[in-house]
Amino acid sequence: MIDSTQPVAVRATEHTSDARTAKRRRLAGRTTPYLFLAPALLLFVGLIVYPMLRAFQMSFYDWKVLAGASSTFIGFDNYTRAMGDPVFWRGLANSGFYMALSVPPQIILGLIIAMFLKAKSPSQPVYRVLFYLPVVTSWVVASLLFKYLFADKGLINWALGDVVHLGDGSTSWLSSRWTALIAICALGVWKGIGWSMMIFLAALQGVPQSLEEAAVMDGANRWQRFRVVTVPAIRPALAFVVVMLVIGGFNVFTSVLLMTGGGPGGQTEVLLTYMYRQAFTNLDFGYGSAIAVLLTVIVLILSLAQMRLFRGDNEEER
Q: What is the tens place of the pLDDT at every residue in 107-133?
A: 999 999 999 888 777 888 888 889 999
pLDDT tens per residue across span 137-185: 999 999 999 999 999 888 898 888 878 877 777 888 999 999 999 999 9
When mean pLDDT is compared across 72-76, 216-220, 258-262, 279-283, the lowest value belongs to 216-220
Reported confidence tier of residue 2, pLDDT bands at 50, 70, 90? very low
Please tell me the predicted confidence (pLDDT) of residue 35. Answer: 82
pLDDT at 281 over 60: yes
Across 58-84, average pLDDT: 88
Query: Which band of pLDDT confidence, cut at 50, 70 and 90, is reported for residue 106?
Result: very high
Label residue 317 by pLDDT band (50, 70, 90).
low
Mean pLDDT confidence for 45-62: 91
Instruction: Look at 67-76, 248-257, 267-276 and tell me which has the smallest mean pLDDT.
Output: 67-76
Q: Which tops the pLDDT comparison, 178 or 37?
A: 178
Residue 318: is its pLDDT beyond 60? no
Q: pLDDT tens across 207-226, in order?
A: 888 877 788 887 778 888 88
How large is the average pLDDT for residues 52-67? 88
HEC profile for the chain? CCCCCCCHHHHHHHHHHHHHHHHHHHHHHHHHHHHHHHHHHHHHHHHHHHHHHHHHHHCCEECCCCCCCCCEECCCHHHHHHHCCHHHHHHHHHHHHHHHHHHHHHHHHHHHHHHHHCCCCCCHHHHHHHHHHHHHCCHHHHHHHHHHHCCCCCHHHHHHHHHCCCCCCCCCHHHCHHHHHHHHHHHHHHHHHHHHHHHHHHHHCCCCHHHHHHHHHCCCCHHHHHHHHHHHHCHHHHHHHHHHHHHHHHCCCHHHHHHCCCCCCCCCCCHHHHHHHHHHHCCCHHHHHHHHHHHHHHHHHHHHHHHHHHHHHHHHHC
Residue 217, pLDDT score:
82
Confidence of residue 4 (pLDDT cuts 50, 70, 90): low
Q: What is the chain's mean pLDDT, rounded?
A: 86
